[in-house]
Structure 1
Amino acid sequence: MGGLLFYDWSTLPFVILVLVLSFTIHEFAHAYSAYKLGDSTAYQFGRVSLNPMVHLDLFGTIMLLIAGIGWAKPVPVNRGNFKRPRLMGIIVTAAGPLSNLILAFISIFVFVLFQKYGWLKGMSVGSSDAIVLFLQLMITINLRLFLFNLIPIPPLDGYRIIQDVVNLKYSESLIKFEQWASVIFLLVVFIGPLRRVTLDPYLGLIFDIADFLSKPISWMLGM
């Protein structure tokens, strides 16, 4: 860590670049899928865009830099515009985390290609180190975003999926849970002992996921 920051100062420019790309594509995936499934709300708000400025949330970005977890601006979705509101709502919500998983997979694929064909050997040390660092951050940050967004606490995607999955008769219980959700979230993030036995082991699964994703890629490339 770099003092108050979760990441080292030396890697901060790369971290910011990866965050901008990852957050932008995550929110674009929500907005685009909603638009294609019949809800133009996000389109009307200018969110069906790859312009980072319409997606980034200042506090959510600061939280990711400080605590290692964060978020962008939620995409407005009107499920009433869908033909099958609950099913399509789940699809739209899942599109965001899945986009991060796809970005991680692509980054692993590129990283393995560099290893197989030795493309880094002909570069300067500075250039090769920069490429490796960028790809490593693309993998780890996107897998962290994938896992983090699946946590069933509002306003994360995991909670929205739960809302669409559970029976409507449980909606009142979910509303009561929302009142305590932010408190639970802050306690888990900032109380060290609590985080070490809950959030950190869960986010530590990124290494298992990265290994799982790399195996078929290595097999395809004959490594």
Structure 2
Amino acid sequence: MSLLDMIKRFLELSITGFIAVIMAITPREYIKARLALMFGDQTPKKVGRVSLNPFVHLDPIGTVTFIFLDFGWSRPVPIRPWNLRGKKKTFLFVSLSGPAVGVLCFVIYGYLANAAAVENKYVFETLYKAAKFSLTYSLFSLFPIPPLDGSKVLGALLPENYTEWYLKYEVYGVLFMLALLVLWIMPLVMNPFVDFIDKLTNLVTS
């Protein structure tokens, strides 16, 4: 493969990957923010997260790892459970909505990729990646590492007086994930997981 072909392929991977990340992240983060607002927490609205603008939801490092490592994360939607009607039960529901929306997006994008397979290879590649990223993030986000959704699920299940204390330490979870990434531990752990998602996506789109 010539240098020109390598550059062309790199650009194709980057562009289709970036669009796929937008497609995977925007619906889940928007719906999560919208639900939190609907149940009484104004925090997502105050910080501009009740929006279909993908750039308010994208995390720069998480986006890059999605494109090149097939897993990643978004900016966490700030939700204050004590502001929600129903408090912890509603917080649990809102926290689980992100992964649920991701699974739904996986099914929709997988179906569309199947339909688009013979039409345009770039459309197919984008939809295929969007499906894969949606499911990967749905399952990855259930890990109980702040600020992933799994940590919020755990926070919702903790005794009342521990929830607020636990959520204050989200920033350390971000640093922990970055450390695992830099030390290449997370890619090693995620590799078989991503391979499984890849095979599952192939089944849906073929």
TM bin, normalised by shorter chain, reads 0.7 to 0.9
In structure 2, distance between residues paired with 1:81 and 1:171: 13
* Correspondence 1:202-221 to 2 at 5 A: 202-207=193-198, 209-210=200-201, 214=204
> Residue 62 of structure 2: SS of its match in structure 1?
helix
The aligned amino acid for 1:72 is S
The aligned amino acid for 1:154 is P
The aligned amino acid for 1:202 is F
Deviations 1:29-67 (A, max 9, x none): 210111122222212322111012322232332343454
In structure 1, distance between residues paired with 2:196 and 2:52: 29
TM-score, normalising length from structure 1?
Answer: 0.72
Give the unaligned 5+ runs of structure 2.
Answer: 1-8
> Residue 69 of structure 1: SS of its match in structure 2?
coil
CA RMSD of superposed structures (Å)? 3.3
Deviations 1:65-121 (A, max 9, x none): 454433222212121222221111111111222222111110122234457xxxx3x
In structure 1, distance between residues paired with 2:98 and 2:186: 27
In structure 2, distance between residues paired with 1:107 and 1:194: 26
TM-score, normalising length from structure 2?
Answer: 0.77
In structure 2, distance between residues paired with 1:51 and 1:178: 24
Give the equivalent residue in structure 2 for 1:134.
126
In structure 2, distance between residues paired with 1:25 and 1:178: 23
| Identical columns (%) | 25
Greater CA radius of gyration, 1 or 2? 1
In structure 1, distance between residues paired with 2:75 and 2:172: 21
> Residue 76 of structure 1: SS of its match in structure 2?
coil
| Pick aligned residue for 1:74 from 65, 73, 76 | 76
Q: Say whether the 8 Å CA contact 1:86–1:164 is kept in structure 2.
A: yes
Alpha-carbon offset, residue 133 of structure 1 = 0.9
Alpha-carbon offset, residue 187 of structure 1 = 5.2
Q: Say whether the 8 Å CA contact 1:148–1:203 is kept in structure 2.
A: no
Alpha-carbon offset, residue 209 of structure 1 = 4.9
In structure 2, distance between residues paired with 1:26 and 1:46: 15
What is the number of equivalent residue pairs in this alignment? 198
Alpha-carbon offset, residue 137 of structure 1 = 0.8
Structure 1 residues 44 and 136: CA distance shift in structure 2, 3 A? same
